[in-house]
Amino acid sequence: MTLKSYNKVTLLLIIILMLTPLKSEEKIDIWKNKKNEKNSNVIINPNTSNININNKNLAIDPNQSIQIENKSLKSSEEARIFGVYDPADYNFNLNMWSSTKADDVRASIKRLKKIKLSKTSNEILDGILFSFSYPPEGMDEKEFIDLKINWLIENNRSDLIENFLKQNEEFDGKSRAVQFLVDGNIAQANIKEGCKKIEFIDSTIKDSYLEKFKIYCLVFNNKKPQAQLLLDLLREQNQSDKFFDDKINYLLGISEKTSEKINEKNLLNFYLSSVTIKKFNYEPTIKTKKEIWKYLNAANLIKIKDINDKEKIKNLELAANQGQIDEKIIFNIYKQIEFNLNTLINAKNVYQTLDKIDARSLIFQKYLLSEDTKTKVEYLFILDELFKEDNLQSVFSSFLSDSLKKIGLDNIPKNYQEIASSRILSKSDIGKIKYNDKILHQSKIIKFYLENEEEKKVQKDIDRIFKKISKNRKYFFSAKDLALVDALTKDGFKIPNSFNRDELIAKYNVPKNLVGLIKKKQNAFLALKIVEIIGEDEPYQLDPETIYFITNLLNETDLIQIRNKVLISALPLRV
């Protein structure tokens, strides 16, 4: 065939591709950059690279054959995708879940919900779960979005929810996501910031709660005519109610009086009650909703009139233990409970005869009155046991940690040093890196992953350090060393021939069930399983063999960004 006739055939194929309505059983592997570009590109061979045919700028190699499978593309309505990250950033693609069954994903997420994931686990999971992609096999679009939004709400990820809303204009569950942001700001008594979230409330959202909040924000920002107009529209649609009408009419100055009844139906109603009732007085109970507790705490509305009302104090302790109010409120109450001088002097002998609240109050006051370190530490740990007895450890853990840090571990009596060390909460900073060229995985070679060291410099360090280690006949290559060598090899560096990689690999086993996921091309699900394995630990807390097989699997699947997160945590020596 001549080049001229070939070009005619090629042009005909392109026209057919552009004009023929296409359907596909196989989803399209394309990164759609924003909604306005949905129809500008067509993708060929979705399971390999992203090859775009753009109708504005077309370039085809006449010597290259173009293979078009007898499959058609799904309509844009059927092929909607939702996420935050470009899947290519993690070396995934839009079909990252296409080989994975929905039940497997559901089961994995269910297990993860039972684990308090570490920082690294959460970072990896974010990339897996919130990359733009089609749902797993057997899961529809709505369930897949619900899975994402539920995870964000249950883990209080307001930052990621906001990014999700910015990048996805219309999806099931949008009103729930917006309400979470709104309620989060009301609970913090930060109405100004909460009102900024109304930018996400558009014509696609038909939600009376959010419309009511929008009206209140107009009142809050002194835009009363607009508020009145929206309120009238809400009434016409039968979306308002007697309580809301009463509060807004009062705030607009239409009526001079408002109901004195506190409405706890939802956080907005409770907030409106608090700002419209002149002598607002509310006593929370164990049944009080978590978000109302948070608002009371943030707005400084938690007051206790009778310091001898143990039931109310107990409710406050439980709320503090669940993180609903600041534990400082509890310690301030403890300071107000009165004891006579004789009881204070003999606190160590007397506290066991008192009820639990009085016992904690007495020992807390005794701790504050103590001057020498030994006595202070002794009372701190008596208090610790008293909180444990009532399962209120969360109230006291931060106070105990801060108090022990202030005293200083070296100043604590030797018989308390071990337990004190275990009760001091660790910082998020895991320490400064110290390079040790006598150990391969702690050497300056890892600067490539930690500091983006130049490749030429890294190769010189590899040659130098391997030469140095080879002179030490007693040197034992560990699983961490092997993890580093595999990563370096994957990234194109040359490892000296003296390093017997095969012999070392034979010592370690990679779980066959995980290797099987690679063969099935279930890279995303494999990464999800790795998050389960890391779990609540940071990678540096895992045993060396686990670190090796995790990085080995990530190398095999080209999930280099995730692998690097593991290496950066697992290898360096930190002080």
Give residue-wise pLDDT tens across range 492-545. Answer: 999 999 898 888 899 999 999 999 999 999 999 999 999 999 999 999 999 999
Give the distance, in angstroms, between the CA of residue 80 and the centroid of all CA atoms in the same chain. Answer: 24
Q: Which two tokens stand for residue 284?
A: 């929370």
Amino acid making up residue 302:
I
Q: Which two tokens stand for residue 558?
A: 């080209």
Confidence of residue 79 (pLDDT cuts 50, 70, 90): low
Neighbours of 396 (CB within 10 A): 24
Say what the pLDDT of residue 431 is: 66
- Using the predicted structure, report yes or no on whether residue 46 has a pLDDT greater than 80: no
Residues 357 and 390: beta-carbon distance below 8 Å: no
52 beta partners: 43
Confidence of residue 365 (pLDDT cuts 50, 70, 90): very high
- H helices of 341-413, where? 341-345, 347-350, 356-369, 373-389, 393-407
Q: What is the mean pLDDT of residues 196-202?
A: 84
Q: What is the mean pLDDT of residues 218-243?
A: 94
Across 195-204, 308-317, 499-508, 552-561, the highest mean pLDDT is recorded for 552-561
Say what the pLDDT of residue 56 is: 33
Distances (CA, A) of 346 to 150, 340, 491, 559, 571: 53, 10, 69, 64, 53
Confidence of residue 458 (pLDDT cuts 50, 70, 90): very high
Confidence of residue 112 (pLDDT cuts 50, 70, 90): very high
Reading phi first (left if > 0) and then psi (alpha if -120 to 50, else beta), residue 557 is in alpha
Confidence of residue 306 (pLDDT cuts 50, 70, 90): confident
Instruction: Look over the chain and give the mean of its residue pLDDT values, rounded to a whole number.
Output: 85
Q: What is the mean pLDDT of residues 5-22?
A: 46
Say what the pLDDT of residue 40 is: 32
Residues 263 and 272: beta-carbon distance below 8 Å: yes
Range scoring the smallest mean pLDDT among 6-15, 30-39, 221-230, 534-543: 30-39
- The DSSP code for 25 is S
**Could you give the 3-state DSSP secondary structure of residue 42?**
strand
Higher pLDDT: 54 or 387? It is 387
Residues 6+ apart with CB under 8 A from 282: 262, 274, 296, 301
Q: What is the mean pLDDT of residues 168-180?
A: 91
Confidence of residue 19 (pLDDT cuts 50, 70, 90): very low
Confidence of residue 30 (pLDDT cuts 50, 70, 90): very low
Q: What are phi and psi of 51, to 5 degrees?
A: -100, 115
Quote the CA–CA distance of 532 and 515 in Å, as a whole number: 16
- Using the predicted structure, report yes or no on whether residue 481 has a pLDDT greater than 60: yes
Across 36-50, 73-87, 302-316, 386-400, the highest mean pLDDT is recorded for 386-400
Residues 6+ apart with CB under 8 A from 289: 264, 267
- Using the predicted structure, report yes or no on whether residue 489 has a pLDDT greater than 90: yes
Neighbours of 508 (CB within 10 A): 15
Q: What is the DSSP string of 473-493?
A: TT----HHHHHHHHHHHHTTP
Q: What is the mean pLDDT of residues 550-573?
A: 96
Percent of the chain surpassing pLDDT 90: 68
Amino acid making up residue 310:
K
Residues 329 and 320: beta-carbon distance below 8 Å: yes
131 beta partners: 85
Higher pLDDT: 79 or 171? It is 171
Quote the CA–CA distance of 552 and 563 in Å, as a whole number: 9
- Using the predicted structure, report yes or no on whether residue 43 has a pLDDT greater than 90: no
Confidence of residue 256 (pLDDT cuts 50, 70, 90): very high
- Using the predicted structure, report yes or no on whether residue 53 has a pLDDT greater than 70: no
Confidence of residue 1 (pLDDT cuts 50, 70, 90): very low
Confidence of residue 76 (pLDDT cuts 50, 70, 90): very low
Say what the pLDDT of residue 115 is: 92
Confidence of residue 573 (pLDDT cuts 50, 70, 90): confident
- Residue with token string 């233990």: 321
Tell me the torsion sign for CA atoms 141, 147, 152, 153: positive
Neighbours of 397 (CB within 10 A): 16
Quote the CA–CA distance of 384 and 395 in Å, as a whole number: 10
Residues 432 and 574: beta-carbon distance below 8 Å: yes
Percent of the chain surpassing pLDDT 70: 85
